[in-house]
Structure 1
């Protein structure tokens, strides 16, 4: 059980570095400059700028923090992938592959995390109460 696993180490590295990149490049600037971001954000789904920015902040701040800790990793990867897909498919349709390469890289990295999960190196949550009753 305590054996070294290169796969688990690779998942940890990908999870932490990709999440830190999203957090520092996209998430924190949205929080720190909320008012200007609210004016600037596109609203391609017509949900309202406040809700759109709120979802973006959730995807780019909360989800990366969960992923760094290894909590609900597969689930936390999905909002980041959704924001990237919306950016590519609705907001920036005119982008060439080269212009959209960062969004494509995010889709690839977080898609890999969604498929691979957190790996062994993560914060383990206590088992759910209903599982404890069954044993």
Structure 2
């Protein structure tokens, strides 16, 4: 029974830290592999088709999107500046949903809205104890 105690305790720091680690890594991998790396690896093709809703120019717009979809998920996975790393991702997602694709139904935008929920929650909670930032915190996970 002692091994099950952390899983039966609703206030378990181990479960909270493990849950935040799982959410961080999964949210980061989803964004990185589905959106970020394809943009980075196919830069020239992406320049031709990226939306530029604010008239910044395709290279800058794509650069900002790649930063939000590659660099920020990597920071989030590590738990380095995790709350701040969520903000560019949320900005890109909300611009895509509300400015670029306002005609999308909830069903068409469900992946983006799911990422908004994940990154918004992580922006509020922070990375948790199992992170690079958690290594430097004084609170210990029992």
TM-score by length of 1: 0.88
Deviation of 1:46 (Å):
1.1
What TM-score do the two structures reach when normalised by structure 2?
A: 0.84
Q: What count of residue pairs does the alignment treat as equivalent?
A: 125
SS at match of 2:132: coil
1:117 to 108, 126, 131: 126
Query: Within 5 Å, which residues of 2 pair with 1:5-24?
Result: 5-24=14-33
Q: Is the 8 A contact 2:32 2:70 kept in 1?
A: yes
Please give the alpha-carbon distance, in whole angstroms, between the structure 1 residues aligned to 2:90 and 2:108. 17
Residue 26 of structure 1 aligns with which residue?
35
RMSD, aligned α-carbons: 1.6
CA-CA distance at 1:97 after TM superposition: 0.6
Counterparts in 2 of 1:72 and 1:13: CA distance versus 1, 3 Å: same
Q: How does 1:10-89 map to 2 (within 5 A)?
A: 10-89=19-98
Gaps of 5+ in 2: 1-11, 137-142
Q: Distance in 2 between matches of 1:93 and 1:124?
A: 37
Distance 1:56 1:4 in 2: 35
Q: Which moved more, 1:59-68 or 1:4-13?
A: 4-13
Runs of 4+ in 1 over 2 A off after TM superposition: 124-127
